[in-house]
Structure 1
Amino acid sequence: MIMNYNENQKRCFCRGRIILSVLVFLGILSWGSGSLQAAEPLSLSALISRMQVAYERTRDLKASFIQEVSLKSMGRAEREEGILYLKNPKRMLWDYHKPQMKKLVVNPQKAWLYVPEDHVVYVQNADQIFKSKMAVRFLSGMGKLQEDFSIRFAASGAVDKEGNYQLTLVPKRPGLGTDQLNLTVDKKSYQIIEGSFTDTYGNETRIQFRNIRVNNRLSDSLFNFRVPTGVEVFNMP
């Protein structure tokens, strides 16, 4: 399919926003690992401390995900499923399987968004991604995150009906791309099993994580990408 310049720009802009969204969740999910357990519900400070310890123990991670995005400007919702691979530092692969195949690959040098159906790859320098203040805070774990966000239990209660912790993160100052982040934390493993937020454009993103496995000895080669023959490349600023 041949697309004109405006159509390309529109697609690129839309997918660029999704890239930023999932980068936030890269940091969120990488907090969660470890086997620390508490017999009774924790205080907020104790929960944050245990999440930070779990983050520091995580070398890599694999999980299945369901990502739901409501695009306000386009008046539609998108649901996608796949497998997420993470490795510290700054490596991730979002391998989408449904409803169509695509890959988002990031390493310390480059980021690639490959859409086989459209025969295109969107490429961006990693330093443009990681200069995001929010992304850097998330990648540093809960300790650094408290410098930019007020963290509290959700208004609906500290735990949900299954006993998992519910957190609300509110920016202390404007410019971080969202007014509020909502997280659900597993009551035993302290893994983030769900997160949601609304960006400055009014787009709502919700991601659920399942079958989380940590410290799998993932190879660095998993986070490299070779552009297939015949695929058009768009360089993002």
Structure 2
Amino acid sequence: MTNNFEQRRSVLGWGVSLLLAAAVWSLALPAHADSVDLLAQFMKQARSGRADFTQVVTSPSRAGQTPRAKTSSGRFEFQRPGKFRFDYRKPFVQTLVADGQTLWLHDVDLNQVTARAQSQVLGSTPAALLTGASDLQTLKNDFQFTPEPDRDGLQWVRATPQSPDGQIRSVMVGLRAAPSGPELAVLDVQDSLGQRSVLTFTGFELNPVLPASTFVFKAPAGVDVIRP
């Protein structure tokens, strides 16, 4: 059987890429600033955040077949440095927790928990960079940020990894102007296998006080724990 962690590994790419722009929801942005400036403000001001999310993942098309799309939804939370949590609610229940040292993936249907060293799994993915970096210049060591033309009423910025060997090919962030400041509307993530994940989120909270227990994971009794 294919390891469940590998089956779900795209979660790391798209899911935590959400952190790239999540906390800009209520940041004020000067009229002359572009989307890259917005990300710089995010890096300076976002210490924690949480929101509800919806994800649509589309697999690469194959000859004679229509690309398959899967929709899931849930809630995410993050806190610097290096901690985040994704609670999937639909269509299956799953929990992904990074406590700063270990990345835990709990699949309820499979009654299985996979645990891996966080530094080995995340590497230079947006997850590792965005929950640990303190400024945009640090991110530029591993990502190139390029403003994209406005479309669909949104401002866009493209984040492209400096290394072509990672899981993520690019992340497109779409932002919408709002009375309280720029608002995240879309995250469009392309991975190295040709899979596309488009996310939307609602009800974002900037810098909430999150209890320490949010990022503590304990495997339920009777669950198989795999440590590759």
Identify the residue that residue 146 of structure 2 maps to in structure 1.
Answer: 152
Q: Give the 3 Å change call, closer, same or farther, for CA 95–172 of structure 1 in structure 2.
A: closer
**Distance verdict in 2 for CA 1:136–1:224, change over 3 Å:** closer
Does structure 1 residue 51 correspond to structure 2 residue 39? yes
The correspondence for 1:123, drawn from 103, 115, 123, is: 115
* Cross-structure match for 1:186: 176
**C-alpha spacing 1:158/1:145, structure 2 compared with 1 (3 Å):** farther
TM-score normalised over the length of structure 1: 0.80
Distance in 2 (CA, whole Å) between partners of 1:159 and 1:143 is: 27
Q: Which residue of 2 aligns with 1:67?
A: 55
Q: Secondary structure at the match of 1:36?
A: coil
TM-fit CA distance, 1:153: 2.9
Matched, 1:23 2:51: no
Structure 2 stretches of 5 or more lacking a match?
A: none
Q: Secondary structure at the match of 2:188?
A: strand
| Aligned counterparts of 1:68 and 1:99: Cα–Cα separation in 2 | 12
Q: Distance in 2 between matches of 1:174 and 1:215?
A: 33
> 1:205: Cα distance to partner?
1.2
Q: CA deviation at 1:35?
A: 3.3
Contact persistence 1:33–1:55 (CA under 8 A)? no
Q: Do 2:23 and 2:205's aligned partners in 1 also have CA atoms closer than 8 Å?
A: no
Query: What is the aligned residue count?
Result: 220
- Residues of 1 paired with 2:173 and 2:99: CA distance? 25
The aligned counterpart of 1:169 is 159
SS in 1 for 2:120: helix
Report if the CA contact (8 A) 1:30-1:86 is conserved.
Answer: no
For 1:31 and 1:175, locate their aligned partners in 2 and report how far apart those are by CA, in whole Å. Answer: 28
Counterpart of 2:110 in structure 1: which amino acid? Answer: D
Q: Percent same amino acid at aligned positions?
A: 20
Which residue identity is paired with 2:164? P
Shift of residue 232 of structure 1?
A: 1.1
The secondary structure found in structure 2 opposite 1:118 is: coil
Task: Using the TM superposition, name which of 169-178 and 64-73 deviates more.
Answer: 169-178
User: Does residue 36 of the first structure (1) align with residue 28 of the second (2)?
Assistant: yes
Residues 69 and 79 (structure 1), Cα distance of their counterparts in 2 relative to 1, 3 Å cut: same
Q: Once the two structures are superposed, what CA deviation does each residue of 1:56-115 show, in whole Å capped at 9, x if it has no partner?
A: 222211101011112339963221101111111111111111112111111112111111
Higher relative contact order (CA 8 A, sep 6+): 2
The aligned residue for residue 80 of structure 2 is: 88
Do the aligned residues in 2 keep the contact of 1:150 with 1:171 (CA within 8 Å)? Answer: yes
Corresponding residue of 1:142: 136
Distance 1:170 1:53 in 2: 19
Identify the structure with the greater helix proportion. Answer: 1
Counterpart contact for 1:166–1:182, Cα < 8 Å: yes
Question: For residues 147 and 111 of structure 1, do their structure 2 counterparts lie closer, same or farther at Cα, with a shift above 3 Å needed?
Answer: closer
